[in-house]
Structure 1
Amino acid sequence: MKIKKRNLLGVCLIIGALFTGCGSKKSTIIELKGSDTILNVSQGIAEKYMAKNPDTKIAVTGGGSGVGISSLLNKTTDIAMASRSMKEKEYEKAEEAKVKVQEIVLGYDGITIIVNNDNQVKDISSKKLGEIFRGEITNWKDIGGTDSPIVVLSRDSSSGTHEFFKEHIIREGKKNQKEYGSQTLYAPSNQAIKQEVKNNINAIGYIGMGYMDDTVHSLAVDGITPSVENVADKSYPIAREVYWYVPENSDKSEAIDNLVDFAISKDGQEIVKNEGFIPRSL
């Protein structure tokens, strides 16, 4: 599947002008902030929506799921983009701030484990993956590769992907305090991880499947590849939902609801698919 990529220079992508030009009719401005994983797809939805609704202007900003959710609760953004679900303590903060939050499933993603194209390892178990990212396995020879040190790359702690991966792989879905290994290198974006893996034969990292291309190689996990079909039927072990979180009691509720309705419509979900994610209904 060929996926069109957009320029991700800078964390802030401003879609269209934020103020109207000539004429007396005032534009509605909607701000989205959060997950870098779904930054591209949210931008695509915003562009298409504005083409159909020229009186609405939309600003899309990255920074990570935690940043987006925090901004929503602080009432400094209209929609939080997230690649993880909101935590219990965040719902508690929302209640304290009198922000009634609605969770919108935008689509589905498979966290894709990537290695350099010259790496001979093609498959890995969830167990071994956790051991690598906890720093317990440090050499490729221990999982069928060459006698070389493993360079472990992760998203930084503001990322929802970082949190999801920690919960499901590092902590194996259990309530414990296991963490990323001390030698883990942290990157601010999917693109940064992919670039490092492309250039470093000993590196391993993870990205959203919408960012996958032929410059790196994806590993099967527990024998299952991160394909559209395997993510859709949830057989791939690291599949997840991606979200928009919206306030139900905003003074922009009507405009936000209209944008959400478009995002989950056939046209909006076609953009989700074209950006390499899995629509709500395949």
Structure 2
Amino acid sequence: MKFIKSLSVAAMAIALITTAVAPASAASTLSGKIVINGSSALLPLTLQAANEFKKLNPKVKISASAAGSVTGPQAVRKGIADIGACDWDASTDVPGFKKFEGQVASKVAVIPFAAVVNSGVKVDNLSTQQLKDIFSGKITNWKDVGGDDATIIVVNRPFGSGTRVNFQQKALEGGTLMDKGNNTKTAAKSGDMKTNIETTPNSIGYIDLVYVAGSKMKALKLNNVSPTEANVINGTYKVWNYGYFMTKGQPTGATKAFIDYIRSTKFQNGSLKKLKFIPLSAIK
């Protein structure tokens, strides 16, 4: 019996020692610096992933900023960023932008975009044609689409914004965006769009759904279809695109490890979904 007790105590001691040293032996040796620039639509996702990744890899430094999608691949081309966050695949031509030669696009998320209005606007649904007429300047009063008698204030993102590219191509079917006039404003980033719509009565703009929750604006239905995750997945809501991380050639080292982490099942089905992005695996 004493022998059995001695074995038990020894086993417990070994288990405690193993547990104590496991974190040290499992500590990440990955090191390096990752600079990310580009899409403000993807910024909440980038920042969340960076925080989680740095906890697992404390020797890796990550800095992220957002000045619009086109600045991402531009920064990669200039060598001032390792990753260019972009709301379109910048390795291919898209309307208004030539492809960035030598860059590789890695999908990181599905981004739903929506037309949004100030919470005081008494309109909940617009047809594609109504939306096109509003953003081209043909319709200028909310009463013409079922709202109050009030001038519509149109808020746009500047040329080079990935949100603008996607909204123009998918919600407006390539239609015109009115950039000048007494009833127009420009929002440099997604956060600025959120602030403008929330604080400007009778305003309309467009943004990715991440910024809508808990705000003083509302996302509009398009042709009676709500901009929800379920409707993106079932194919009834069409205004969405993949978000990409652009790199100069195939990513390596810490950059590759970070992209792999964002694309991992754990992150895709965890933090990414909580932020109202849609996992890559959900789109078949």
Q: How does the TM-score come out when normalised to structure 2?
A: 0.81
Residue in 1 aligned with 2:186? 186
Tell whether the 8 Å contact from 2:156 to 2:179 is kept in structure 1 after alignment: no
CA shift digits 1:191-239 (9 cap, x unpaired): 2222222223310111110111242121101111111111223321312
CA shift digits 1:100-154 (9 cap, x unpaired): 3221111112112111222211100112111111111111111011111100011
Q: Are 2:266 and 1:267 equivalent residues in the alignment?
A: yes
| Structure 1: gaps (5+ residues) | 1-24, 95-99
CA shift digits 1:140-175 (9 cap, x unpaired): 1110111111000111223111122222344x248x
Instruction: Show the 5 A alignment for 1:28-39.
Output: 28-39=32-43
Residue in 1 aligned with 2:220? 219
Report the residue type matching 2:271 in the other structure: I
Residue in 2 aligned with 1:139? 141
Q: CA deviation at 1:27?
A: 4.0
Please give the root-mean-square deviation of Cα atoms over the aligned residues, in Å. Answer: 2.0
What is the distance in 2 between the residues matched to 1:46 and 1:279? 17
Instruction: Show the 5 A alignment for 1:95-244.
Output: 100-170=102-172, 172-173=173-174, 178-183=176-181, 184-214=184-214, 215-244=216-245
1:173–1:26 CA distance, 2 compared to 1 (3 A): closer
Percent identical residues: 26
What is the distance in 1 between the residues matched to 2:121 and 2:237? 22
Report the residue type matching 2:237 in the other structure: Y
Provide the secondary structure at the position in 2 that maps to 1:281.
helix
**Larger helix proportion, structure 1 or 2?**
2
Tell whether the 8 Å contact from 2:35 to 2:82 is kept in structure 1 after alignment: yes
Q: CA deviation at 1:57?
A: 1.0
Q: Computing the radius of gyration over CA atoms, which structure comes out larger, 1 or 2?
A: 2
What is the distance in 1 between the residues matched to 2:179 and 2:81? 34
Tell whether the 8 Å contact from 1:102 to 1:247 is kept in structure 2 after alignment: yes
Tell whether the 8 Å contact from 2:210 to 2:276 is kept in structure 1 after alignment: yes
Q: CA deviation at 1:44?
A: 0.7
CA shift digits 1:254-277 (9 cap, x unpaired): 222111111100222122112111
1:132–1:258 CA distance, 2 compared to 1 (3 A): same
Report the residue type matching 1:258 in the other structure: A
Report the residue type matching 2:140 in the other structure: T
Residue in 2 aligned with 1:22? none
Residue in 2 aligned with 1:18? none
What is the distance in 2 between the residues matched to 1:229 and 1:37? 20
How many aligned positions are there?
A: 246
Residue in 1 aligned with 2:48? 44
- Structure 1's consecutive aligned runs of 4 or more residues displaced over 6 angstroms after TM superposition are none
